[in-house]
Amino acid sequence: MKKVVVIGGGTGNFTVLNGLKKYNIDLSAIVSMADDGGSTGILRDELGVLPPGDVRQCLVALSDSSRLMRSLMNYRFENGSLQGHNFGNLLLSALEKVTGSFEKAVEEVGKILSIKGKVIPVTTHEVRLQMILNNGKVLQGEKEVYLSTEIHKGYKSIYLEPFPQANPHAISEILNADLVVFGPGGLYTSLIPNLLVEGVGKALRETKAKKVFIVNLMNKKGQTPRFTVKDHLNELKRYIGKDVFDHIIVNNSEPPKELIDDYAEEGEMVKNDLESDPRIVEASLLSNDLKEVQKGDALKRNLIRHDSQKLANELMKIVDSF
């Protein structure tokens, strides 16, 4: 059975895993531990736990349990002192407290949800994302980075504080993979934070696995304005130490003009400036299902988004080619 490892955080991971879980492959998700917004941020601050939100999304994506259990995990309390907390975040945090280990908590929730595959925190150290902009401003935490509209003016550095060692399980997954899937996801908030963990870049350079980068559909204003496919690859190369990707999956279909107009305030579509690069895999990857937008943080408000199944099809063509 081929071993496929998906690296990222947030909604991107959810979409890729949700598509891939139907296939007969050995699937793992390596998840960024930099999230500190919303329910996750409150739990980190108040309980001193590791961030449950992104892990929860991956667990739900890989779950083979009832629709009810998946709804429960994503259920968001609407009132009172619990307002905004996803039930699944509380489950992971309570289990971390009871077992004394976030990894053990993730494993136990995996059992409860009968997940297919494994979910692995990229590090089990408590870290905060920091970004120092060219204008001297310091963005403290992923949430501040996510909300910043000044990153495109240039930044001096981005790092995790304190500099964490990788979870050895994450490293061995990468080294033993047949295919590593990187992205899609927020460049500075979901993707690069994985590369700021000691050992991850090295593992990506050394693994014999084929490496695929799934390029985002949209740029984000103030963060990656007018970033092309090449710009994305250049940023990743800075943190991996080498352009490691064997395949680059890019969407080639256009969303309806109204949607693009609606999104004009937030960003534009990513342009492919590497058309002649043999590594490029172009395909129509847009989700047609405009109505199925969840209000929870699983799919945020992206109406222009990847289709799980179309992405999985392209990835499985690569898996089946070797």
The token duo for 13 is: 């991971």
Q: How many residues at the interface with its own copies, by CB under 8 A? A: 26
Contacts of 300 (CB under 8 A, 6+ apart): 11
72 binds its own copies (CB under 8 A): yes
Give whichever of 46 and 320 is closer to its own copies, judged by the CB atom. 46
The token duo for 38 is: 């919303």
Stretch of residues binding its own copies (CB under 8 A), selected from 42-50, 53-61, 182-190, 218-226:
42-50
Smallest distance, Å, CB 63 to its own copies? 14
Are 10 and 190 within 8 A, CB to CB? Answer: yes
State the Cα–Cα distance between residues 63 and 261, nearest whole angstrom: 36
Give whichever of 36 and 314 is closer to its own copies, judged by the CB atom. 36
Give whichever of 29 and 113 is closer to its own copies, judged by the CB atom. 113
98 binds its own copies (CB under 8 A): yes
Ranges of beta strands (E only) in 165-246 are: 179-182, 210-214
Sheet holding 3-8, edge to edge: 118-121, 26-31, 3-8, 179-182, 210-214, 247-251, 280-283
95 binds its own copies (CB under 8 A): yes
157 binds its own copies (CB under 8 A): no
Give whichever of 78 and 261 is closer to its own copies, judged by the CB atom. 78
Give whichever of 63 and 287 is closer to its own copies, judged by the CB atom. 63
Smallest distance, Å, CB 57 to its own copies? 17
Are 199 and 165 within 8 A, CB to CB? Answer: yes
24 binds its own copies (CB under 8 A): no
State the Cα–Cα distance between residues 287 and 305, nearest whole angstrom: 6
Report the residue from 71, 149, 252, 253 that binds its own copies according to the rule CB under 8 A: 71
Residue keyed to tokens 């003016």? 153
Strands 118-121 and 26-31, sheet pairing: parallel
Q: In this structure, how many other beta carbons lie within 10 angstroms of the beta carbon of residue 278?
A: 9
State the Cα–Cα distance between residues 320 and 178, nearest whole angstrom: 11
304 binds its own copies (CB under 8 A): no
Name which of 137, 134, 167, 158 is nearest 7 in CA terms: 167
The token duo for 183 is: 């992205």
Smallest distance, Å, CB 100 to its own copies? 11
Report the residue from 2, 3, 26, 75 that binds its own copies according to the rule CB under 8 A: 75
Report the residue from 2, 23, 26, 94 that binds its own copies according to the rule CB under 8 A: 94
Q: In this structure, how many other beta carbons lie within 10 angstroms of the beta carbon of residue 296?
A: 17
Give whichever of 87 and 159 is closer to its own copies, judged by the CB atom. 87
The token duo for 147 is: 């909300």
Smallest distance, Å, CB 191 to its own copies? 30
Q: Which of residues 109-128 bind its own copies (CB under 8 A)?
A: 112
Contacts of 97 (CB under 8 A, 6+ apart): 47, 49
Smallest distance, Å, CB 69 to its own copies? 8
Report the residue from 3, 26, 38, 99 that binds its own copies according to the rule CB under 8 A: 99
107 binds its own copies (CB under 8 A): no
Site residues for its own copies per CB under 8 A: 42, 45-48, 68, 71-72, 75, 77-82, 85, 87, 90-91, 94-95, 97-99, 108, 112
